[in-house]
Amino acid sequence: MKHLILVIEDQEDNRRIMRDLLENAGYEIIEAVTGEDGVVAAETHRPDLILMDIQLPDFDGYEATRRIKANPDLQAIPIIAVTSYALSGDDVKALEAGCDAYVSKPFSPRALLAKIQEIIR
């Protein structure tokens, strides 16, 4: 059975890169462009893992993460923040919001896949 990964990312180029990378690695992908759509997709599809951008058009990835983690049916889903927010302390903010890991953009495809495999085993 393929693992289902929800990619919450507003930039089409970034979604395409992640889609190609993850599908070639054997994962099934669903995508959301906004924080709200991401929360709804998490509730609807119950993915095995969420890749969360922080800078989203409606509310940010921190808020989307908090909303997902506040739902008892979803709180066990691991969330990896994948973001261009790479200032000192941004990783701490992501973890405090409920993310399980943090990867900064631009990311190494190999490192992202290794982090995903480490978390969903």
Total-model pTM: 0.94
Which residue type is seen at 62?
A: Y
The single residue listed with the structure tokens 């906004």 is: 34
The one-character DSSP state at 40 is H
The single residue listed with the structure tokens 């979604």 is: 15
Say which CATH superfamily domain 7-16+28-87 falls into: Response regulator (3.40.50.2300)
Which pLDDT belongs to residue 106?
85
- List per-residue pLDDT tens for the chain, 121 residues long: 699 999 999 999 999 999 999 999 999 999 999 999 999 999 999 999 999 999 999 999 999 999 999 999 999 999 999 987 666 677 888 999 999 999 988 888 999 999 999 999 7
Which pLDDT belongs to residue 87?
60
**ω into residue 106 within 30 of 0, thus cis?**
yes
Which pLDDT belongs to residue 85?
62
Which pLDDT belongs to residue 86?
60
Structural domain boundaries in the chain: 7-16+28-87
Q: Would you state the structure tokens that stand for residue 101, as one six-digit string?
A: 């890991």
Contact 44, 50 (CB under 8 A): no
Which pLDDT belongs to residue 65?
97
CA distance 82 to 11: 12
